């Protein structure tokens, strides 16, 4: 994966080749600037690889048009962004219901309420993002990412902005929801305690990937 102009491209990821199994938990780790977010964006098809391809089950993501990609993402992925990306003009409930609303599901509000309850925000459903703490906003973002039970959950530094206690709570929640839905969970993190809760560690450095099976899984 390269960024930038043709005459001076910046090669961020170089010849990566890996598989993930359904139900896997993967932590993407590595120094700042090593391409962790880039890799997550590629998996989310928010960026396209300069060379090579990414398949999710039998679907090659780069073969899809932007509209098809948006539909594919909506149906199959839940993305938790580092800076939440909540919509300020929508309540917590409307934010959490968004993926289902967009997909035209009739019971979107009820499912979003149930999900907000599960993330401990039953009493905050009518609050707007600016009326919520960082941890609460992150939990709304998780509820929104998981409300449609995606096959693939992608989370970029999901605990990065949170204090230790809230961070642990948010991480517990991600793993719990992952276990219940048998989805594949991919987390970008600097936090090795969080990374070690994953079955596999993807170490990125100087554009290369080293995959390590986690023998000391600490859930
Ligand atoms: N849109 C872009 N255009 C040009 N260069 C980019 C772009 N996005 C990222 N980069 C560069 O690619 C490299 C990898 O960035 P990336 O954000 O993937 O790293 P990271 O490992 O997630 O870093 P951090 O841990 O600091 O968040 C960096 O050198 C960055 O400057």
pTM of the prediction? 0.89
Asked if 146 and 181 touch (Cβ cutoff 8 Å), the reply is: yes
Q: Looking at the predicted structure, is the pLDDT value of residue 9 above 90?
A: no
Which ligand 1 atom is nearest residue 204's CA? 21
Q: Which residues contact 176 (CB under 8 A, 6 or more apart)?
A: none
Q: Ligand 1 pocket: which of 1, 2, 9, 10 to mutate (most atoms <8 Å of CB)?
A: 10
Greater confidence, 129 or 118?
129
Give 134-192 pLDDT, tens digit per residue: 889 989 999 999 998 899 999 999 888 778 888 888 899 889 888 888 899 999 999 99
Which ligand 1 atom is nearest residue 39's CA? 18
Q: Which residues contact 46 (CB under 8 A, 6 or more apart)?
A: none
Which ligand 1 atom is nearest residue 47's CA? 1
What is the whole-number distance in angstroms between the Cα of residue 192 and the centre of ligand 1? 20
What was the pLDDT predicted at 218? 62
Domains of the chain: 25-48+60-212 (3.40.50.300)
Q: Strand, helix or coil at 210?
A: strand
Give 30-89 pLDDT, tens digit per residue: 999 899 999 999 999 888 888 888 888 888 888 899 999 988 888 899 999 888 899 999
What is the whole-number distance in angstroms between the Cα of residue 156 and the centre of ligand 1? 13
Strand partners, 200: 26, 213
């Amino acid at each position: 994966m390269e960024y930038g102009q043709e005459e001076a491209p910046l090669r961020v990821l170089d010849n990566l080749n890996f598989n993930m199994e359904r139900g896997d938990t993967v932590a993407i780790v590595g120094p700042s600037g090593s391409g962790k977010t880039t890799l997550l964006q590629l998996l989310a098809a928010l960026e396209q690889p300069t060379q090579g391809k990414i398949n999710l089950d039998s679907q090659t993501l780069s073969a899809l048009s932007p509209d098809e990609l948006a539909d594919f993402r909506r149906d199959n992925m839940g993305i938790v962004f580092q800076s939440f990306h909540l919509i300020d003009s929508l309540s917590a409930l409307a934010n959490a219901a968004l993926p289902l609303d967009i997909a035209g599901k009739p019971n979107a509000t009820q499912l979003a309420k149930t999900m907000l309850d599960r993330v401990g925000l039953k009493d905050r459903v009518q609050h707007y993002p600016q009326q919520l703490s960082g941890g609460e906003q992150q939990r709304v973002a998780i509820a929104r990412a998981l409300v449609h039970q995606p096959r693939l959950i992608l989370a970029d530094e999901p605990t990065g902005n949170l204090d230790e206690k809230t961070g642990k709570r948010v991480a517990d929640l991600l793993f719990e929801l992952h276990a219940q839905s048998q989805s594949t969970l991919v987390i970008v993190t600097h936090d090795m305690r969080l990374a070690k809760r994953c079955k596999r560690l993807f170490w990125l450095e100087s554009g290369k990937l080293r995959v390590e099976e986690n023998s000391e899984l600490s859930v």
